[in-house]
A and B are shown apart, each in its own frame.
Chain A
């Protein structure tokens, strides 16, 4: 009797997203126009979104898919240190790690970026000279976002002047939750201008927005204000990136690209520590927004300890044995 199953590989599962060639961004000249745009968005059924995310989590990545996905995930890491106790040496050490995450295996890709406070941007810039690793800086009174616009813009200017390629700003959640949407929008626009050629990542702090409806609206608000990336979290509140939040933000990025022709990236941050979680998120990317987002250009993980687990799993895939965590440096 039959014992061996046959294998048929058919669809990849990847979402096929059709993006218009010419950009047509929504014109937002008044708060009413912004409200109308956000009101036109579909609601999110939280039960259905959680069920979809859970179903995607059952995908099983094996063999070459897993190897490719681990490398891809490594290349998407924004290696982050955002502590009061950060020092130049700590940042230099992190930069070395981002550049060559596993010196024993030169085929290991570099991380996407190093993410630090503005006062350490220059240190990182210098340490990463000659590498393709970008320097990202949080700004705008990170993590609370509670400062005047002038202070926020000065914070951004300092980071950009010191050589930041990317700026991670926080939105004013208080303003968003109290309905001052125009204020949130205007701040993003102003910061976007202050960034110059630097890319802007807008942190929504989804753990404080709480509902998926709010996440979808905040995502669209930030994209309409010309964010280059929308980002989940600061990592400084209890709830950070979750699979349903990632799903809703990727849906927003997909729908925005289809509607406007502008592709906005998505960055998940906070609490992602294991390779297994990271690969599950890549599946969500693949099946929600599709192949275009499977690149560090449009998708990032803000993390620190995640990198070592990705390296451990990568090494396990190559050597076939589980390795000690101490095989990789502790940065």
Chain B
């Protein structure tokens, strides 16, 4: 006899009241110039554009559109700064980078709010991940600046020269840190081009660079769109291009760099597979799948956008996954309890919608989170497709949004074959309590990063980058120095 019948709870679930971070902390200006030669300067042609808050669609500030002439000025400033910077003792370069790391830590709340306003990512992520990791990258590479001879590239490795660095909109400040920190540690000078839709945190970084009293011209920041980036890539006095973005643009850049003989590293797209074996630690695995695809709204090049699940547990995994997906709190990115924020731009939203519609048209089953969406701004609900075939567009093309495609496999070899059935090769995940099998699979995956029983983990000491059409070169770790050394 069971004396314990199930009763409805007398109380509702904890329905979290709004807990918004203050937008005023961002201290935004109305408009921003270009950071060239150690100071904010007016652009050559007075062309401005607005950067939007994707959660509302309203303008946050206007920034300058950098023209070919502006890029020219910035590259010239970097060139002028190079001889002194590259010959400065490593221990002195180190101290500048430590200063920048500390200033990022000191202004972390401001930076987190700026990032969330401009990008649309949840404040929890900008506060707990983007900004601390950006500081950590400067801290880590500061330590390398006076230890380059121990990095495994010979007794006296030399910098390359002027580096042109083009970064994407998904992790604006973090990508700036990934690019600038190793370049500066190695003795290069930089011209950084932030993404068109997310320039603001890089401009706060420019202010930090001023506070750190970095010598003028060592870092220059030129905002603009694809034309500005193209001007940087085509500039004859740029010795090195580092690009993070789409494979399509990467191809164009590689062609140009090939003609000019420029050093090049590329971090491009991906179609990561999260491989779940039947002995996976189930609750942590569900969290890992969710983190893998819904972290940063899926705007992650290494996102686990394909779930490869062992057929014997597929139904149970999808059931648990959907229960968890239904709990995700989608909404105001500044709310501390938001899990999934806004899609970064109208253009990206259109791309996600197009691919999701294609998934349905091609026969996959669409499961969508029950959450309601805000009426203004750019939003897409967390979405899972089941019954996906290898040939479907949603299994092959990078969606770069909160959309997961579920496929099944029967054996480890089949899991590997399906995971590798892509032109990309950035990252994969493996979920199993059996270490031996995890390592067997990891050895066979054609991916630059393999996470085991975790996903989307980043650390300044850990090299990150892709194989095949996900690009070449590594960022992070000892390996990340090579991209900025003439070795």
Contact = CB atoms under 8 A, between A and B. Distances in A.
Direct contact of A and B (CB under 8 A): yes
Interface of A: 1-17, 19, 21, 23, 25, 42-45, 47-49, 51-52, 58-66, 68-69, 72, 197, 228, 248, 251, 257, 261-263, 282-283, 286-287, 290-295, 297-298
Contacts of A5: 20-21, 23, 55, 332, 334
B282 interface: yes
A283 B334 CA distance: 20
Contact of A49 (B9, B30, B283, B335): B283
Contact of A48 (B12, B14, B281): B281
Contacts of B3: 197
A58 B281 contact: no
B329 A10 contact: yes
Central interface residue in B18, B58, B330, B336, by most chain A CB within 10 Å: B18
Chain B residues touching A, majority SS: loop
B18 A9 contact: yes
A2 B283 contact: no
B56 A2 contact: yes
Nearest to B455: A48
Given A5-B20, A43-B281, A52-B287, A23 B2 contact: yes
Interface stretch (B97-105, B159-167, B365-373): B365-373
A263 B4 contact: yes
Contacts of B10: 295
B14 A61 contact: yes
A10 B331 contact: yes
B284 A44 contact: yes
B2 A6 contact: no
A60 B14 contact: no
Closest 8 CB pairs of A and B: A48-B284, A14-B13, A8-B331, A60-B19, A45-B281, A42-B282, A291-B13, A8-B374
A66 B207 CA distance: 38
Contacts of A298: 9
B259 interface: no
A9 B334 CA distance: 12
Given A3-B23, A10-B329, A283-B14, 19 more contacts: A5-B334, A6-B374, A6-B376, A7-B20, A10-B372, A10-B374, A11-B330, A44-B283, A48-B287, A61-B14, A61-B17, A62-B18, A65-B17, A68-B14, A286-B14, A287-B327, A293-B9, A294-B9, A298-B9
Contact of A1 (B7, B60, B369): B60
A62 B19 contact: yes
17 contacts: A1-B30, A5-B55, A8-B335, A9-B15, A42-B280, A43-B279, A44-B284, A51-B287, A52-B287, A59-B336, A61-B14, A61-B16, A61-B19, A65-B16, A251-B283, A261-B6, A297-B7
